[in-house]
Amino acid sequence: MNKIEHIGIAVKDLEASNELFSKLYGKPPYKSETVESEGVTTSFFDVGPNKIELLEATNPDSPIAKFIAKKGEGIHHIAFDVTDIYAEIARLKEEGFTVLNETPKDGADNKLVAFLHPKSTNGVLIELCQEKPK
């Protein structure tokens, strides 16, 4: 793992949260997009060398909607930048971590992503991110 790529925060109202975080960081999000496969709309803020991703559910069955119903708004995941997501998935499986999706999928911000189950990481959802080849 190279670095923390971003921290994901689940929110109920993306527009209101964008206003709040824009005031906090002193600048607007640099990107917003919907990831249909995950039932989420996201926005990203650059914060120093890291990023913050806000996530709003687009339907009541999405993982974000379920997370907010269970835990409320707040930190949803920590994402790590990796050079080779396939090798990293294999390595982490060998180390005993539970990988939620063994084949990376398309994520927001031009990334391939995979997740580790929080039960195998002390209650923290971990996302692996690799920039998609151009």
Confidence of residue 114 (pLDDT cuts 50, 70, 90): very high
Percent of the chain having pLDDT more than 90? 93
pLDDT over threshold 90, residue 134: no
- Predicted pLDDT at 133: 81
pTM over 0.75, yes/no = yes
Tell me the average pLDDT across 19-41: 96
Helix (H) / strand (E) containing 68: helix 63-71
Structure-token match 């063994």, residue found? 102
Tell me the average pLDDT across 118-126: 96
50-83 residue pLDDT tens: 899 999 999 999 999 999 999 999 999 999 999 9
Nearest to 113 by CA among 75, 76, 84, 85: 85
Tell me the average pLDDT across 20-48: 95
Letter string b/e over residues 47-58, b meaning 16 or more CB atoms within 10 A of that residue's CB: eeeebbbbbbbb
